[in-house]
Amino acid sequence: MSAITGVGTYAPRFRISAEAFQEAWGQFNAAGVSEKAVASADEDALTMAYEAATRALEAAETDPSSVDWLGFASSRPPEAEDDLTARLGAMLALTESSAGQVFTGSTRAGTRALWAGQDALAADSTTALVVAADAPKGDPDDGIDHAASAGAAAFVLERDGPAEIVDRAEYSAPYPGTRFRTTGEDETRTLGVTQYDRQAFTETIGGAVDGLEVEPDPEAAAIQAPDGKLPYRAAGAAGVGTDEIQAAATVHELGDLGAASVPMSLAVALSDGYGSVLAVSHGSGASADAFVVTADGNVPAATALEGDEPLSYAEYLRQRGVVTTGPPSGGGAYVSVPSWRRSIPQRYRLEAGRCTECGALSFPPEGACDDCGALADYEPVELAAEGTIEAVTTISQGGAPPEFAEQQARSGDFAATIVALETEDGDGTVSAPAMGTDAAPAAFSVGDRVETTIRRIYTQEGVTRYGFKIRPAGE
């Protein structure tokens, strides 16, 4: 038996409505979706996973150092071949001995990670962290892209807690071509055979639910949602009513979250206080997972799903990088991957250093002390995730260094700041440069309180560099 002791969710602030698509294309091919979340230029599945996981750990009051198993799931990870749990674990300050596993290749990946997290607890793990994050894409004139959204959900699993996973089952049947992305392609597509797709969906979902030993009597049903109608068409196969599906549905306001679809709906249902939830995923191929979760009391939850910045269709294409040309050739500041790696403690965990000679703080902690000039060792000091802006300027088109030019082209003007960050113990501050995110430059002024998060910085030599940025406190 395994239990959910905390959940966290995240969706980007940008939204595009069905009407915006209708105006651009003369039609909108995502039935039942009123609007969807859109990742900003410096966001991807990894940064969204960090946001959701941070919230889940805070909700569960779990020290990251106690997590000994990490699962990351995405049908469209930022890298096609890379163990992203190493980066995600470092961002979250997990111990380097924590086991990690990546799940991809299907919208079923999120529930596969949840399944594996259970198995890890049944073996020798004590605390598992499962994170599903996704940002699927399709061809611009295709229903997949009209529904394709972005978001993440995370769960802290332990052996005892307020919500227990009491049963699980899976089912598979060969239905090739229902939803796929071939090697080297960026967009997901289908063959568009409606009855064939619907049959694959309902058969696998029904088969997984039929395989449960516990007779589900759910108050809410979290069912895979490629659009806002297909989950309801599977109500009979899943043995639930439309009210139960509506209770957990996030697709109408967020869109198709891919591998994060069912995890997001499950997290929302638990945070809303439902005592029993049936969760059923579906992946192309075709296959399905079914889980029965019962809750005794409130499940600690921290959510961030509100969107407050509507996009036009042109702005949507710009954020996705469809109408930008990429970074200019040459002229950028070159930072080798080994050099970047040495700065990870500063970029991910805000690790400063205190001079052992004079006690002054330095960030980054390298070279001679800025105060006394001593070439002494630095004592590691972790900074708090909040600070105060000391200086700010706006980077506009033509003003961004070449390595940031693509982001500027996609996201528009952004703030570049100097921020005074406090130490965790409140014993001093240190200044650090930081780019703004999640808000327009006008939202950043000298004296404002800000908080840090992790975002994409830029890509060089094919390797994406991640690091901390700032946003208005409380965002």
pLDDT in tens, 7-44: 999 999 999 999 999 999 888 999 999 999 999 999 99
Max Cα separation, the chain? 74
Using pLDDT thresholds of 50, 70 and 90, give the confidence band for residue 334: confident
C-alpha distances out from residue 411 to 76, 159, 427, 468, Å: 21, 43, 37, 17
Say whether both 310 and 455 belong to one domain.
Answer: no
Residue 401 covered by a domain:
yes
Residue 326 covered by a domain:
no
Instruction: Give the model's pLDDT for residue 400.
Output: 66
Q: Provide, rounded to the nearest whole percent, the portion of the chain with pLDDT above 90.
A: 73
Say whether both 316 and 342 belong to one domain.
Answer: no
CB atoms closer than 10 angstroms to residue 27: 10
> Vertex 244, ends 238 and 245: CA angle to 5°?
70
Do 394 and 413 meet the contact criterion of CB atoms below 8 Å apart?
yes
> What is the Cα–Cα distance from 150 to 135, expressed in whole angstroms?
4
Say whether both 217 and 80 belong to one domain.
Answer: yes
Using pLDDT thresholds of 50, 70 and 90, give the confidence band for residue 209: very high
> What is the Cα–Cα distance from 422 to 329, expressed in whole angstroms?
38
Residue 40 covered by a domain:
yes
Say whether both 223 and 139 belong to one domain.
Answer: yes
Say whether both 309 and 408 belong to one domain.
Answer: no
Using pLDDT thresholds of 50, 70 and 90, give the confidence band for residue 183: confident
Instruction: Give the model's pLDDT for residue 404.
Output: 75
Say whether both 289 and 228 belong to one domain.
Answer: yes
Do 305 and 257 meet the contact criterion of CB atoms below 8 Å apart?
no
Residue 325 covered by a domain:
no
Boundary residue ending a domain (294, 320, 346): 320
Instruction: Give the model's pLDDT for residue 262.
Output: 98
Boundary residue ending a domain (320, 345, 371): 320
> Given a cut of 70, is residue 331 above it in pLDDT?
no
Residue 329 covered by a domain:
no
> Given a cut of 80, is residue 176 above it in pLDDT?
yes
pLDDT average, residue stretch 335-362: 90
Say whether both 308 and 349 belong to one domain.
Answer: no
Boundary residue ending a domain (274, 291, 320): 320
Q: Which domain holds residue 79?
A: 2-320
pLDDT tens, position by position, 67-124: 999 999 999 999 989 999 999 999 999 999 999 999 999 999 999 999 999 999 999 9
pLDDT tens, position by position, 396-438: 876 667 677 777 778 888 899 999 999 988 888 999 999 999 9
Query: Going by C-beta distance under 8 Å and a sequence separation of 6 or more, which residues neighbour residue 397?
Result: 408, 409, 413
Residue 194 covered by a domain:
yes
Say whether both 290 and 381 belong to one domain.
Answer: no
CATH number assigned to the domain comprising residue 78 = 3.40.47.10
CA nearest 56: which of 205, 334, 270, 363?
Answer: 270
CA nearest 205: which of 185, 178, 235, 179?
Answer: 235
Total domains, the chain? 2
Residue 451 covered by a domain:
yes
Say whether both 28 and 133 belong to one domain.
Answer: yes
Do 245 and 186 meet the contact criterion of CB atoms below 8 Å apart?
no
Say whether both 386 and 293 belong to one domain.
Answer: no
C-alpha distances out from residue 169 to 111, 122, 324, 387, 451, Å: 11, 16, 45, 47, 42
Say whether both 156 and 67 belong to one domain.
Answer: yes
Say whether both 77 and 224 belong to one domain.
Answer: yes
Residue 172 covered by a domain:
yes
CA-derived radius of gyration, the chain = 23
Do 366 and 290 meet the contact criterion of CB atoms below 8 Å apart?
no
- SS3 per residue for the chain: CEEEEEEEEECCCEEEEHHHHHHHHCCCCCCCCCEEEECCCCCCHHHHHHHHHHHHHHHHCCCHHHCCEEEEECCCCCCCCCCHHHHHHHHCCCCCCCEEEEECCCCCHHHHHHHHHHHHHHCCCCCEEEEEEECCCCCCCCHHHHHECCEEEEEEEECCCCEEEEEEEEEEEEECCCCECCCCCCCCECCCCHHHHHHHHHHHHHHHHHCCCCCCCCCEEEECCCCCCHHHHCHHHHCCCHHHHHHHCCHHHHCECHHHHHHHHHHHHHHCCCCEEEEEEEECEEEEEEEEEEECCCCCEECCCCCCEECCHHHHHHHHCCCCCCCCCCCCCCCCHHHHHHCHHHHHHCEEEEECCCCCEECCCCCCCCCCCCCCCEEEEEEEEEEEEEEEEEECCCCCCHHHHHHHHHHCCEEEEEEEEEECCCCCEEEEEEEECCCCHHHCCCCCEEEEEEEEEEEECCEEEEEEEEEECCC
pTM to 2 decimal places: 0.93
